[in-house]
Each structure stands twice: as C-alpha cells, then as structure tokens.
Amino acid sequence: MQPAPNGRLAAAPAGIVEGKAKPRGPFPHYRRAGDFIFISGTSARKPDNSIEGSDVDEMGVTQLDIKAQTRAVIENIRDILAAAGLDLSDLVEVSCFLVSMNDFGGFNEVWAEYFDETGPTRTTVAVHQLPHPLLLVEMRAIAYAPDPQIG
C-alpha cells in the first residue's frame, strides 16, 4: 500500500488481517466507512485458536488471566489498526465486554498501560458469555482516519 500525499496509508474498504485469528463468522476484522475504521469484536484468540491468558495445568484446572487477555486484545487491535495504516492513537471509541465485573480492576490496570484521559472514549459492560468459554474480555473499536484519497 502506498502512502497518500498526506502521508497516511489508504485502508482497504474492509479486510482480514494476515497473521491474526480468523473471524469466527463471515465478517472482516475491520471496515472503512467514510473517515472512520470500525473494528469488529476482538478477543485474545491467537491464530492457532488458543487463547492468550488461559492455561490448563496437569490436573486439568483452568487458570484465566484477565490482565494477559486484556493486553492481548489491545495488541490485536493495534495490529488490525496497523493493517489499516493507523495506530492506537487514532482510536476514538472502544466498547469493552467483560464476562465478570470482578475482572474490572485488572482490566482497567492494563487499559491504563495503553491509554490515559486523552485516549478513546470507553464503555465497559458485563455480558453473560463470549463466543469461547475461556474468553474473559472482548473489545470493538472505532478509529478516526480521514480518507487519504480526499486529503
């Protein structure tokens, strides 16, 4: 992809990002609409379908880590934004879905590693469940990205 005169990369109208976990349905990782990039719900799922921040010990006990999962989700969003020629500073809104509000503290701690009061607006809600039983958090996001073809 070649940079436009304003130095930004022109994002494809929609895309599946190589090297990321494939969506679990017929939808893209991101879609451009005007000056905005909409990022589909993103989790801590890896390309091999394992879940970052989940571990099963030799006794079969599952340990889930909200901090590791939150970090992985934000890094996955960072990679999707990069594929669209953007970065985390271009985010304007993020919707966050936690399976349990008991995880809010750890989630918020990791969020603060990436964003402060000047970052994107955020809504965080608890949901009954996510598409995989080992997932603790999912996020969808909107980034502002003026169309480089327009200037």
Nearest to 91 by CA among 103, 73, 104, 69: 73
Q: What is the pLDDT of residue 149?
A: 63
Overall number of domains in the chain: 1
pLDDT, tens digit only, all 151 positions of the chain: 444 445 555 556 888 888 888 888 888 899 999 999 999 999 999 999 999 999 989 999 999 999 999 999 999 999 999 999 999 999 999 999 999 999 999 999 999 999 999 999 999 999 999 999 999 999 999 999 987 665 5
Going from the C-alpha of 111 to that of each of 68, 103, 136, the distances in angstroms are: 11, 12, 14
Q: What is the residue range of 44's domain? A: 14-144
**pTM listed for this prediction:** 0.87
Residue 138 domain-assigned (yes or no): yes
CATH of residue 112's domain is 3.30.1330.40
Residue 31 domain-assigned (yes or no): yes
